Amino acid sequence: MDEKSTHAYAVQPGLSQRLAQLFDDAQVPKSARIAYVCEETGRKKQTVHRWLLADNPGNPDLESFALLCLRFRVDANWFLGLTPTPFALPSPVDKEASTSNAPLHESGIAEYLSQVDSELQRVAPGHLSLLMPGDEMEPRIRKGARLVVDPAVQEMTSNGIYALDYNGQIIVRTVEHRIGVGIVLACDNLRYQATVFKDAAAAKKAGVQVIGEVRGWHQTAWV
């Protein structure tokens, strides 16, 4: 490919303009739009504010972008400006599933999650796909979210979010190394207390094994 045939594709400001169009179509007032997106994506106000700027807006992260596509039921290609028509997303509930033994809604969810797993393996080969087992990391990671876990990371050598086997139970924790304290396994949900170990050896002795580092997650809400 020669130099003349290549060009930079600018996602913005078109993405923010199309998001504004969706808000207009849904009759969401401008004063409520930031709060609306925060509620749907779990992101902070200052982050969402950047996405909605008229001049030099920022781009949402991949997870937030997917959630917005799901919420407004629009195709990602249109959202990115790759196609001129905003085709509606197919429903995650397959009407033909009504002939199966499983309830219609549950069959649709199972098929949808299977598609998510396939996509995760495509974009992150070699990674594990795990379900968030509890609500310890809410509101950032909701119970039932699909986790993308890198099994190549087998030691808690750096700060981050890890999937762990704690005496046979899968847990997800934020790992933080604090000088003079040790290794802190913390939850986002304030209902749960942090667990502190002197060092990695003490954590292993207590039954903590690293499954891998969490590289991302996918979550959505069903109604």
Do 137 and 188 share a domain, yes or no? yes
Strand partners, 218: 146
pLDDT at 2: 46
CATH number at residue 149: 2.10.109.10
Is 4 within the bounds of a domain?
no
pTM of the model: 0.51
Is 2 within the bounds of a domain?
no
Is 60 within the bounds of a domain?
yes
pLDDT at 39: 82
Is 1 within the bounds of a domain?
no
Do 210 and 147 share a domain, yes or no? yes
Do 75 and 112 share a domain, yes or no? no
Do 214 and 132 share a domain, yes or no? yes
Distance CA 207, CA 194 (A): 16
Is 84 within the bounds of a domain?
no
Do 17 and 47 share a domain, yes or no? yes
Is 223 within the bounds of a domain?
no
pLDDT tens figures, 89-100: 655 444 444 444
Averaged pLDDT, 133-153: 88
**Could you tell me if 33 and 23 are in contact, meaning their C-beta atoms sit under 8 angstroms apart?**
yes
Cβ–Cβ contacts within 10 Å for residue 40, how many?
17
Do 36 and 100 share a domain, yes or no? no
Do 33 and 103 share a domain, yes or no? no
- Only one residue has tokens 């968030």, namely 132
Is 151 within the bounds of a domain?
yes
Cα–chain center distance at 189 = 17
pLDDT at 111 over 70: no
pLDDT at 105 over 50: no
**Could you tell me if 152 and 119 are in contact, meaning their C-beta atoms sit under 8 angstroms apart?**
no
Do 144 and 180 share a domain, yes or no? yes
Distance CA 159, CA 176 (A): 5
Is 112 within the bounds of a domain?
yes
pLDDT at 86 over 70: no
Do 211 and 133 share a domain, yes or no? yes
**Could you tell me if 200 and 184 are in contact, meaning their C-beta atoms sit under 8 angstroms apart?**
no
pLDDT at 102: 45
Do 189 and 209 share a domain, yes or no? yes
Do 143 and 167 share a domain, yes or no? yes
Do 113 and 133 share a domain, yes or no? no
Q: How far is CA 182 from CA 137, 160, 177, 178, in A?
A: 21, 15, 6, 5
Sequence-distant (≥ 6) Cβ neighbours of residue 142 within 8 angstroms: 132, 135, 219
CATH number at residue 45: 1.10.260
Counting the structural domains of the chain, the total is: 3
The token pair that represents 117 in the structure block: 């797993």
Q: Print the domain residue range for 52.
A: 9-79
